[in-house]
Amino acid sequence: MCKPVQSVKSVSYMKQRINLLIAFSVAALIVLSAVQCYLVKTTYDYKVAQFHTQIKNEIAQISNNYSDIDSVLVSRKETLYTNLSEKYFQGKKSKTDIKNGILENEYRSALTAEIQRKFERDLPNFKIDFAIVLNKFILYQNTKKADTIFSEKPFIQNKLYGNLASLNHAFLVRNYVGTTNGTFKNQDYKLLTEDSMYVSVIDWEMIILRRMAFVLVLSLFSILTLITLFVIALKALIKQKKVSDVKTDFINNITHELKTPLATLGISTKILEQKNIRDNDESFNSIVNTISRQNNRLQSLIDQVMANSLAENEIELQKEKIETEVFLQTIVNDFKIGYPKIHIQTHFETQKTNLVLDKFHLTTALLNVLENAVKYGSNTITIKTKQIEDQFSISIEDDGIGISKNKQALLFEKFYRVEQGNLHNTKGLGLGLYYVAQIVKAHQGSVNVISDLGKGARFTILLKV
């Protein structure tokens, strides 16, 4: 029987709604993650700027000039600058010679070592490499126009002293502007120089990351929380969709199952209204028997739904000690009466095994498995028993159409029915195997299935001995 149009529309609407919610959730997660990353990047940039400012301030406290580092070396530096300036005035030195003379100064190594020691002494928490580069060397003589001997952007090639090999990962700490007044041949002149100090703190990235540890952990926790909530919400949506599909299938199935006996009862009631039927005892009894059977069928459907509303820990078992092989043979004999065309084989590897079981519920559970095999195309059923350590094994193997691997995990779920090929039209409420699982669990046992599509199925029930 086909599903009602309204149910199909409802399922379609639910799928669209879930897909829309998933798309919205993914978009929201991406946006929130992007915002989180932006905030972390902004914080990182702020921490880097803050770190640079700290280094600048601490170096500024160490020295405002080189005079307090080594006055002799500074004096030699000023003397060199004066000599080079006078030789330039005399025409003995070109601008290139002046530049080379400054950069190849003899106090380069000594002054580098002095500054390095001062950093190590006054800034013990940081390992600092530095370079002081020459930017400008300009002479002013009387009122003449300034004579620019040298003026360039900071380059490591113009390093006066220091141990840095590159300025790529270094940052500017400060500029040193110096002026020197002198007299050459009774003419006053002024020398303007500009040096820049660049420093690079070894492992500065790790220092920044350690200072950002709380922010990073909090951000990571936030992102993981968002992802976790997204996954939980996604699982809930998928579960809701499955529940909705199951509910729709159950309503359609129960409607289908109820319509047949109700229609039969309606027709039988109308037939009984005919006088000729009432006067014919044989016809009358036949109709009454039909009504009785359909009434029993309705009652059976209602009882099945009610019984399966209980969990395994809510089922009240009436246990008694029974000889299991005799119990199973009785079930087989009764089943043969109802299904004479089905060939049933028994291979009991155990004898006189006494177990404490609920005969009524376990009989119903085993009959559900047998009827399920017939329902899904089986002609031959084999029942085997054996003892595996402290467990009693009952296996029911059939030659039906089998079950695909991806469907097997759902077999024992409430209301689940395999919809594959022509099985969509198979009658049932999807409660039989669920009931089997609940009864076996109530006996502290387990049930599993092994099957391949087109190769039948084997259900194994394990009970404690």
CB-count exposure of residue 410 (10 Å: 0-12, 13-18, 19+): middle
pLDDT digits (tens, 9 = 90+) for 137-147: 888 876 567 78
pLDDT digits (tens, 9 = 90+) for 245-279: 666 666 665 665 677 668 778 888 888 888 887 78
Which pLDDT score, from 0 to 100, does residue 2 have?
43
One domain, residues 328 and 441:
yes
Paired with 190 in beta bridges are 140, 181
Mean pLDDT over 78-95 rounds to 81
Q: When comparing pLDDT for 12 and 441, which is higher?
A: 441
Tell me the DSSP string of 159-209. EEEES-S-STT-EEEEEEEEEEEEEETTEEEEEEEEEEEEEEETTHHHHHH
pLDDT digits (tens, 9 = 90+) for 33-72: 888 888 889 988 998 888 888 888 888 777 555 545 555 6
One domain, residues 318 and 457:
yes
Q: How confident is the model at residue 453 (pLDDT cuts 50, 70, 90)?
A: confident
CB 393 within 8 A of CB 385: yes
CA dihedral 118, 121, 127, 133 (to 10 degrees): -10
| Residue type (1 letter), 180 | T
CB 368 within 8 A of CB 433: yes
Which pLDDT score, from 0 to 100, does residue 395 have?
93
Asked if residue 52 is part of any domain, the answer here is: no
Which residues of 202-338 form beta strands (DSSP E)? 320-323
Please give the structure tokens belonging to residue 399.
Answer: 């030659």
Which pLDDT score, from 0 to 100, does residue 336 have?
83
CB 198 within 8 A of CB 154: yes
Q: When comparing pLDDT for 290 and 222, which is higher?
A: 222
pLDDT digits (tens, 9 = 90+) for 427-450: 555 667 887 888 888 888 999 988
One domain, residues 174 and 236:
no
Share of the chain above pLDDT 70, in %: 82
| pLDDT at residue 23 is higher than 70 | yes
Please give the structure tokens belonging to residue 244.
Answer: 């909705």
Asked if residue 322 is part of any domain, the answer here is: yes
Which residue, 275, 307, 339, sits at the end of a domain?
Answer: 307
Asked if residue 377 is part of any domain, the answer here is: yes
The DSSP output letter for 140 is E
Give how far Cα 290 sits from Cα of 185, 272, 273, 277, Å. Answer: 140, 11, 15, 14
Which pLDDT score, from 0 to 100, does residue 419 have?
59
One domain, residues 321 and 298:
no
How many other β-carbons are positioned within 10 Å of the β-carbon of residue 191? 20
Which residue, 307, 339, 368, sits at the end of a domain?
Answer: 307
One domain, residues 359 and 399:
yes
pLDDT digits (tens, 9 = 90+) for 334-382: 888 778 888 999 999 988 889 999 888 888 788 888 988 888 888 999 9
Asked if residue 208 is part of any domain, the answer here is: no
Nearest partner of 161 among 119, 110, 98, judged by Cα: 110
| pLDDT at residue 1 is higher than 70 | no
Asked if residue 56 is part of any domain, the answer here is: no
Which pLDDT score, from 0 to 100, does residue 381 have?
93
Query: What's the distance, CA 280 to chain centroid?
Result: 74
CATH of the domain at 402: 3.30.565.10
The pLDDT mean for the chain works out to: 80
Dihedral over Cα of 89, 94, 95, 96: its sign: negative
Q: How confident is the model at residue 392 (pLDDT cuts 50, 70, 90)?
A: very high
Distance CA(71)–CA(264), nearest Å, equals 118
One domain, residues 323 and 459:
yes
3-class state of residue 20 by DSSP:
helix
Which residues of 324-403 form beta strands (DSSP E)? 343-348, 354-357, 380-388, 391-398
Asked if residue 448 is part of any domain, the answer here is: yes
Which pLDDT score, from 0 to 100, does residue 63 have?
59
Instruction: Extract long-range pairs of 134-138: CB within 8 Å, 24+ residues apart.
Output: 134/99, 134/102, 134/103, 134/158, 134/160, 134/193, 134/194, 134/195, 135/175, 135/194, 135/195, 135/196, 136/192, 136/193, 136/194, 137/98, 137/99, 137/102, 137/191, 137/192, 137/193, 138/191, 138/192, 138/193
Which residue, 307, 330, 364, sits at the end of a domain?
Answer: 307
pLDDT digits (tens, 9 = 90+) for 115-171: 888 888 888 888 888 888 888 888 887 656 778 888 888 888 888 888 888 888 888
One domain, residues 284 and 355:
no
One domain, residues 270 and 223:
yes
Place of tokens 């220092």: 207
**List of residues 6+ apart from 340 with CB closer than 8 A:** none
One domain, residues 328 and 456:
yes
Q: How confident is the model at residue 462 (pLDDT cuts 50, 70, 90)?
A: very high
Nearest partner of 310 among 463, 462, 441, 446, judged by Cα: 441
Which pLDDT score, from 0 to 100, does residue 256 have?
58
Asked if residue 449 is part of any domain, the answer here is: yes
| pLDDT at residue 315 is higher than 70 | no
One domain, residues 196 and 147:
yes
Distance CA(205)–CA(454), nearest Å, equals 63
Residue 237 belongs to domain spanning? 5-34+213-307
Nearest partner of 379 among 355, 344, 351, 421, judged by Cα: 344
| pLDDT at residue 3 is higher than 70 | no
One domain, residues 174 and 231:
no
Which pLDDT score, from 0 to 100, does residue 422 have?
42
Backbone conformation region of residue 27, classed left if phi is above 0, alpha if psi is from -120 to 50, else beta: alpha
Which pLDDT score, from 0 to 100, does residue 348 have?
92
Mean pLDDT over 92-106 rounds to 82
pLDDT digits (tens, 9 = 90+) for 409-431: 777 776 666 655 444 445 555 66
Asked if residue 138 is part of any domain, the answer here is: yes
Which H helix or E strand runs over 432? helix 432-442
Share of the chain above pLDDT 90, in %: 8
Give the number of domains in the chain.
Answer: 3
- pTM, 2 dp: 0.48
Distance CA(387)–CA(254), nearest Å, equals 39
Give how far Cα 3 sits from Cα of 7, 310, 368, 432, Å. Answer: 7, 28, 25, 21
3-class state of residue 106 by DSSP:
coil
One domain, residues 427 and 458:
yes
